[in-house]
Amino acid sequence: MSGIYHVDFFKSHGAGNDFIVIDETSKVQVPEPFKPAFVRLMSARRGGIGSDGTIFVSMHDDTHPRMQFFNPDGSEAEMCGNGLRCASRVAYEGHYAGRSPLVFVTKAGRFETFNFFSEEHQLSFVRIHVGRVETNPEKILANRSTTPFIAQTFQVDGISMVGTILGIGNPHMIITVNQLKEIEFNRLGPALEHHPMFANRANISFVEVLDSRRILVQTHERGAGLTLSCGTGMTTSVVAQVLNGNVTNDSDIEVHTAGGIVWVHPRVTGDTITAQLTGNATHVFRATAHVAVQGETVSFAPGPPMDKTAVYTRETETYDRFAQRSLFDTSLLIGTPLESLVQARGSV
């Protein structure tokens, strides 16, 4: 199979976690067999468009949109909270115009999203209702243990750490630390992601608790590495702090990251854990990428890799002012792959 494909997409972000979002509700823009290679090409920070992942929004049926999420390495993930907010905005302003709530179908199950405009922050926001957070680690641990892994000690690279494992459609390990500045993100992130205890790697979040209603979070995402934020990582980080007795249950918890601020409302009742994640879904620009497919090879077509068709300057500037309220010290990311991103956003 060969040919030139002109792929329309949005570059969007949720709390600085940026994505390429492709609307396929009316037609397939990237044939399924080529999606992993297409994602690797587009997501590359050098030589590509650059993103923390690529999202395909399509129709599951007339009333339910579908989200496919791919990590930058081309692997397909079950779920992405920041990505789902961006997908929800594209669907809400596109094929599913004006419908709120929307119930998205993902590999991790169904998630309800509510689109609204925040008058306080002058930004498009999306609230995601997470139906259930799992403490049973059977699908996450290589030994298939069903015993909850809550505030347990384990070893990594000769260091003793305490972690909590939770499932939210994808696997998470949350590690509470006294101060984030104590963590060697470049070394510990990859080591923990690939720790032999996990059946299929895991997302790793380091958490510093400020008080009973505010936490700082830095996440190393499976298949992506360090990111400015991670929606499911922030959600499970808050739930873990409830289980560990560090934040207030059934209340809005402010989560501060290098990418900005979101709110997570956990509800832990007996054996049932649910949560709501609320934050921005911000468009940066819209463009058409020009991609050549030759056999199994996917590359940019000759000429400019993309043509921008819209730039959301005011919206981006509004978000950047909002993000300055984050209490996260972005100087902690100097010397990591995120250094250029936080400097580009004027955060360092």
Q: What fold, for 2-130+281-311?
A: Diaminopimelate Epimerase; Chain A, domain 1 (3.10.310)
Judge whether residue 87 has pLDDT over 90: yes
d(CA 44, CA 192): 23
Q: What is the per-residue pLDDT for 187?
A: 94
Query: Radius of gyration over alpha carbons of the chain, in Å?
Result: 19
Q: Which of 101-105, 202-206, 208-212, 221-225 has the lowest mean pLDDT?
A: 221-225
User: In this model, does residue 344 exceed pLDDT 70?
Assistant: no
* Residue pLDDT, tens place only, 24-70: 999 999 999 999 999 999 999 888 999 999 999 999 998 999 999 99
The matching CATH number, chosen from 3.40.50.300, 3.30.70.920, 3.10.310.10, 3.30.70.890, for 152-268+327-344 is: 3.10.310.10
Say yes or no to pLDDT of 347 above 50: no
- Domain boundaries defined on the chain: 2-130+281-311, 152-268+327-344
Query: Taking the alpha carbons of 263, 229, 21, 79 in that order, is the dihedral positive or negative?
Result: negative
**pLDDT of 158-201, one tens digit each?**
889 999 999 998 999 999 999 999 999 999 999 999 999 999 99
Number of C-beta neighbours around residue 1 at 10 A: 9
Q: CATH topology of 2-130+281-311 equal to that of 152-268+327-344?
A: yes
Render pLDDT for 297-330 as a digit per residue (tens, 0 to 9): 899 999 999 999 999 999 999 999 999 999 999 9
What's the confidence (pLDDT) of residue 270? Answer: 83
Cα distances (Å, whole numbers) of residue 79 to 155, 209, 220, 278, 347:
28, 25, 15, 16, 28
Question: Model-level pTM?
Answer: 0.92
Q: What's the pLDDT band for 1 if we cut at 50, 70, 90?
A: low
DSSP structure class, residue 301: P
pLDDT digits (tens, 9 = 90+) for 90-149: 999 999 998 989 999 999 999 999 999 999 999 999 999 988 999 999 999 999 999 999
Taking residue 312's Cβ as centre, other Cβ atoms within 10 Å add up to 17
Positions marked catalytic: 80, 230
